[in-house]
Structure 1
Amino acid sequence: MHRQNWDDLRFVLAVAETGSVSEAARALSVTHATVLRRVAAFEERHGEPVFLRSARGYSVLPDKLAVLEAAQEVENAVMAVDRLLTGSTAALKGPVRITSTDSLCQSVLPGIVQDISAAYPDLRLTLHSANRHLDFNRLAADITVRPAEQLEDTLIGIKAGVLTFALYGPTAAGRADEKWLTLEGPLSRSKPAEWMRHALRKSQFGVGSDSFMVQIGLIAAGAGQGFLPTFLADSNPGLSRKPDVAEISVPIWVASAADMAHTSKVKVVSEQLVDGIRRVLG
């Protein structure tokens, strides 16, 4: 594949993955105009459009899905080679990108990341807050700190602790028919959301959000009751734990792509993250 074709294809794949030119630009650290130009160049070179443009964003045209799937497989192989080459010779310096949920990024991880940065000043650590799972094959992250029952087959990781959820309501007395706050977006795949789908009726659901940090504010404001991580909610004076439902626990993993996990900088940062999480969460 010609180098220019490959470079343009990276931009096409980023838009296909995110469904948005702006999101693709952020993921690739380029401007919005650059993404538009490279996608247009790819489409012009091949004589036909790849995307359907709408108010909701960019979606791949059905007859182009197989082409992009094949291209993604090629990119995966190229990126794997790049990771192996750069990781095998890298010292403890350079960028290490860490992704985690907004709850952990705003409460548990900042101090731990700062400690790692102080101990290894040549590392350039980035803490990316995202409740969705990032694509490791696109080098969007080197390490993920993520609650999950188990890891995908493409990841290698260590259980660093346990994330415990409990039911909370506002400190002020709630109503007997208090609504349950729903978990939306990526949180809809969480273990508390799964419990709610099986245990509750639709008529019991009220306001929803895609963030436990937002959920805290909603519950404290009296919008209803809902599941929250205990390490966040137990110390909040606006919240009261409710004994109606048993706690739900999920392992917290520190993980990396299988072909990156044993590189020196990723291994050291991962070990430090595990130690820090165990120290903070007990």
Structure 2
Amino acid sequence: MHNANWDNLRYVLAVADRGSLSAAAKTLGVNHATVLRRVAAFEEEHGGPVFEKTASGYRVLADRARVIEAAREVANAMVSVERLMDGARAPVRGVVRISSTDSLCQVVLPSFMARMQAALPELRLDYFSSNAHLDFARLQADIAVRPAERLPDELSGETNAQLTFRAYSAPSRPGGWVGMAGPLVRSAPAAWMAANVEPEAIAGGADSFVVLRELCRAGVGVAILPVYLGEGVPGLVARPELMADIRVPVWVASYTELRDVPRIRIVREHLLAHLAEQADLLGGR
């Protein structure tokens, strides 16, 4: 597909996604007439209309839906090519974006950034602290550091450390349980609770283990926490009689097509070494 065809396809896809010429124009940073001209050129070259114009905007014709799906595949392929080309040219210096959970970013990873600043001063690390998985296909992060039983298919990674989860409560008031909400419902502790704790025994919840710890300290109920948030913390006691420890691998992963970009590969290797050194903290030993 030569450049003119690819450019026209971009405009068609933008109209399909945004539903109008004006919205597509705004997204692409061009004027309304340019979008109209490019869409018309695509339709003329490929034998007929793609859209039906309605009172509310542009709608993809039913028999052209597969054209739009094919366009998305082409767009994703072009992004992959551009990403690979950029990665091949990238020097070791630059920015590497790391996504991890809020508690790992607060407790385990700060010392890693300090170490990397000393070892590779031209390399900058940005942390994205979130318990939700970021969209790697859109380059919102280069590396994920995540506790999980397994990785999704589009990511490749390694693990050399395990994170232990343990039940804790306030010393004098165990109460019921505090549960997990939002992205944490996908976690191993949430799966254990779903199988072993009746819903009426759950007094409340949160989407952050840091918040769950504070609810637990306040006496709301028993919380399942990463051991680095619970062990030795005033106002918390472990409750092994309520739940056996849960151990989950901690993965260092990248989008498959980015794993050999030099700066990303180097940071990933250093992260694995750092997590291995933090094995006692992560494992609760």
TM-score of the two chains, using structure 1 as the length reference: 0.77
User: Quick one: distance in 2 between partners of 1:170 and 1:159?
Assistant: 33
Q: SS in structure 2 opposite 1:127?
A: strand
User: Quick one: distance in 1 between partners of 2:213 and 2:75?
Assistant: 40
What does 1:122-271 align with in structure 2 at a 5 Å threshold?
Answer: 122-171=122-171, 173-175=172-174, 178-243=175-240, 244-271=242-269
- Would you say how many aligned residue pairs link Structure 1 and Structure 2? 250
- Can you give the 5+ residue segments of structure 1 that lack an aligned partner in the other structure? 16-33, 52-63
User: Quick one: distance in 1 between partners of 2:70 and 2:268?
Assistant: 32
| Paired residues of 1:168 and 1:242 also in contact (CA < 8 A) | yes
Larger mean CA deviation between 84-93 and 221-230 belongs to 84-93
CA deviation string 1:27-78 (max 9, x = no partner): xxxxxxx999429989996756689xxxxxxxxxxxx998876555334222
What's the CA shift for 1:140? 0.7
2:27 is matched by which residue type in structure 1? Answer: R
- Is residue 109 from structure 1 mapped to residue 98 from structure 2 by the alignment? no
What's the CA shift for 1:8? 10
User: Quick one: distance in 2 between partners of 1:107 and 1:42?
Assistant: 49
User: Quick one: distance in 2 between partners of 1:74 and 1:108?
Assistant: 40
User: Quick one: distance in 2 between partners of 1:186 and 1:231?
Assistant: 20
| Paired residues of 1:5 and 1:42 also in contact (CA < 8 A) | no
Q: CA-atom RMSD, angstroms?
A: 3.4
2:44 equivalent in structure 1: none
| Paired residues of 2:9 and 2:71 also in contact (CA < 8 A) | no
When residues 205 and 83 of structure 1 are mapped into structure 2, their CA distance, relative to the original with a 3 A threshold, is same
When residues 225 and 7 of structure 1 are mapped into structure 2, their CA distance, relative to the original with a 3 A threshold, is farther
User: Quick one: distance in 1 between partners of 2:228 and 2:102?
Assistant: 13
| Paired residues of 1:95 and 1:126 also in contact (CA < 8 A) | yes
What's the CA shift for 1:182? 1.0
1:38 equivalent in structure 2: 27
1:236 is matched by which residue type in structure 2? Answer: V
Larger mean CA deviation between 212-221 and 41-50 belongs to 41-50
1:120 equivalent in structure 2: 120
When residues 3 and 121 of structure 1 are mapped into structure 2, their CA distance, relative to the original with a 3 A threshold, is farther
1:27 equivalent in structure 2: none
User: Quick one: distance in 2 between partners of 1:100 and 1:270?
Assistant: 13
Q: SS in structure 1 opposite 2:257?
A: coil
- Can you give the 5+ residue segments of structure 2 that lack an aligned partner in the other structure? 37-50, 59-63, 281-285
TM-score of the two chains, using structure 2 as the length reference: 0.76
CA deviation string 1:206-239 (max 9, x = no partner): 1110000111111111111110000111021121
